[in-house]
Amino acid sequence: MPNLFTLTLQLAVVLAVCRVVGELFRLIHQPKVVGEMFAGIMLGPSLLGWLAPHFSAYLFPPSSLGFLNALSQVGVVVFMFLVGLNINPGELKKESHAAVLTSHVSITAPFVLAAFLALYLYPRLSDESVAFTSFALFMGSAMSITAFPVLARILTERNMLGSRLGTVAIACAAVDDVTGWCILAYIVVLIRSAHSATSIWITIGGILVFGLAMIHGVRRLLRGFERSYKKKGALSENLMALMLLLVLASSLLTEYLGIHLLFGAFLMGAIMPKEHQFVRYVLDRFETITVTLLLPLFFAFTGLRTNVGLVKGPQMWMYCGLIILVATAGKLGGSTLASWLSGMPLREAAGLGTLMNTRGLMELVILNIGLDIGVISPALFSMMVLMALFTTFMTTPVLRLICGKEIEESASSKMVTRPASAPAMNLDNSESFVA
Amino acid sequence: MSRVGRNFVIAYIVLVGLPLVGLAGVLRSGRHLKAPVSVDGVWKIEAQNSSPGNHLCNAVSNLFNSPLLISQSGRSFEISSKGNPATSGVLDDKNLTSSMWTGSYSACGNGQITLAAVVDPTAEPRSLTGQLSFPGCQSCAPVDFRAVRQPKVQSGGGH
């Protein structure tokens, strides 16, 4: 049984610290989510545990972390459902050659560079229980991910959502996320099957059957939600509960099949009807409690697992610097080059590259999975968290530096077509970062 | 095929296709790399030479009463057990060395314990044999120990 006093105290402290730091970050023109990520790190051994070890041990005793993790994972399951809900696969098909090339290069460039870096880091930061292939593929997928929700948030705040730059960025981020998660699913299956008696082919077969059933079967049934919403202008409590049940069932199935439960939540969101008003309605219902309470718990739990103290000595900091350099060169450089070759002006292309380099919360989700399945070590986890923070933090100032006000102004005058997922964006809600 | 279409195909091959070939090469060459031996996990530790006359100080007794947790990152690791703060150590091939502070200044001298052990990577379950010594305590005899790694608990998933 959890100690209710400890758990309630943890919730209160996490909530308060995340709100305060989030607001402070907004003062320096950073999305609130970046502040919340920092707040999580501050509550962990990197700061609180270092400055006040006894208070830290009192506030977060090891025996309580299981409950904190369970609560935060529920939040991440709902969050992944909302991320999937925001992605509109139908709209992605309409994107131009430029967007297709940019999105694919923005995956392959960081992926390949990360694999090269893995050749150097594997003998230094891993151990023989992890196969090189799993290590390299994980590094690749972790570096090629883009924080779709944070990117949407930044574009919204800078009034760039309807611009060509915003449209291409959103489309590329969506492609990146779907691809990144597919690769990650493969890695999880690969690693878990090594410890499981079930053949990998049975697992892969099961996943394929599940995916096809979801896309071609369940997807049609889900239209009933949209029909009901159109008829009554709202969904009944029973229907909302049913939707949540479907998310949980899908999560459980993917967990049972040997991939992570987050994939099921993401897929359920991705196959939901994409009518603008309906998506916005569902987001409004789920977002508040997820974003306000549950996700800060995830940031805190991630922070508790992040120990910057493990990155000690010039050599370890050099590894960390290399990771940040490779991640930025691959994502920012690759996306800039591809969009520039596709005909985008250099400055706009660099802006797109900067946006694609935003990793944010999605990176933390992936890194936690990597640490859970043992494919990355605690020190590497901490370095990658620092990389996620650095690349997310740099987005707004670098974007301002590269694009200045020109692009933003032209963006607001060119609000012609909404991007792939823009209709689902909750533009009025400055609190939101899921949308 | 139009000029735009042809340029797109060429750009796609150069910017996406070629890197993927490079990736295949990296994955192939990386298979020959050797990473440090794995010591990560929970270890059950037992004293080998604790005779009735050899009184262990409280901190060392605690060490043998609770499992030892090793968190590995390449050649470096953190070692911790219940009641003792986590300390770092270094893995050199199969040899582990770490210096722990128990915080106890009583029978263990100044509370410093040095751990030196050798891992047997062929043993299943994996085992460690080594010695705990007390640099701050002239009268304390070193304690030999043996530790066996406990099976990992699967964190869900799979069927």
Reading the block at residue B43, the tokens are: 């270890």
Q: Which domain holds residue B2?
A: 1-33
Chain B contacts in chain A segment 276-335 (CB below 8 A): 310, 334
Give the residue from chain B lying closest to A200, CA to CA. Answer: B158
Q: Which domain holds residue A356?
A: 4-424
Residue of A183 and A237 predicted with greater confidence: A237
Chain B contact present for A214, CB below 8 A: no
Q: Do B66 and B138 sit in the same domain of this protein?
A: yes
| B19 in any annotated domain | yes
pLDDT of residue A410: 54
DSSP letter assigned to residue A258: T
Q: pLDDT tens for residues A135-179?
A: 999 999 999 988 877 777 777 767 776 677 777 887 888 788 778
Q: What is the CATH number of the domain that holds A114?
A: 1.20.1530.20
Give the residue from chain B lying closest to A311, CA to CA. Answer: B73
Distance from CA of A116 to the nearest CA of B (A): 6
**HEC string for A364-400:** HHHHHHHHHCCCCCHHHHHHHHHHHHHHHHHHHHHHH
Name residues whose C-beta falls within 8 Å of residue B139's C-beta, 6 or more positions apart in sequence.
none
A333: nearest Cα among A305, A359, A352, A313: A352
Distance from CA of B126 to the nearest CA of A (A): 12
Dist CA A199 CA A190 (whole Å): 10
The values of phi and psi at residue B38, to 5°, are -85, 125
| B55 in any annotated domain | yes
Per-residue confidence band for B58, with pLDDT thresholds at 50, 70 and 90: low
Distance from CA of A52 to the nearest CA of B (A): 14
A259: nearest Cα among A347, A192, A169, A304: A192
The answer on pLDDT for A68 being more than 80 is: yes
Residue of A186 and B22 predicted with greater confidence: B22
The answer on pLDDT for A435 being more than 50 is: no
| B159 in any annotated domain | no
Chain A contact present for B16, CB below 8 A: yes
Give the best-scoring range by mean pLDDT among A36-40, A166-170, B57-61, B135-139: A36-40
What three-state secondary structure class fits B9? helix
pLDDT of residue A148: 73
Mean model confidence pLDDT for chain B: 81
pLDDT of residue A161: 64
Q: Do B104 and B49 sit in the same domain of this protein?
A: yes
pLDDT of residue B153: 64
Q: How many domains would you assign to chain B? A: 2
Provide the ipTM. Answer: 0.85
B120 Ramachandran zone, left/alpha/beta (phi>0; psi -120 to 50):
beta
Q: Do B8 and B71 sit in the same domain of this protein?
A: no
Q: Do B62 and B45 sit in the same domain of this protein?
A: yes
Pairing status of strand B84-92 against strand B76-81:
antiparallel
pTM of the shown model: 0.84
A106: nearest Cα among A323, A329, A334: A334
Give the residue from chain B lying closest to A203, CA to CA. Answer: B158
**Chain B contact set for A122 (CB, 8 A):** 30, 33, 35
| B68 in any annotated domain | yes
Q: Do B12 and B71 sit in the same domain of this protein?
A: no
Residue of B135 and A215 predicted with greater confidence: A215
Q: Do B28 and B45 sit in the same domain of this protein?
A: no
Q: pLDDT tens for residues A12-48?
A: 999 999 999 999 998 998 888 889 989 999 999 999 9
Chain B contacts in chain A segment 189-208 (CB below 8 A): 192-193, 195-196, 198, 203
| A54 in any annotated domain | yes
Distances (CA, A) of A31 to A14, A75, A241, A351: 18, 20, 31, 17
Q: Do B84 and B112 sit in the same domain of this protein?
A: yes
Whether A143 and A355 have beta carbons less than 8 Å apart is answered as: no
Dist CA A264 CA A39 (whole Å): 29
Q: Do B91 and B133 sit in the same domain of this protein?
A: yes
Give the residue from chain B lying closest to A54, CA to CA. Answer: B85
Length of chain A as a residue count: 435
Q: How many domains would you assign to chain A? A: 1
**Chain B contact set for A196 (CB, 8 A):** 158-159
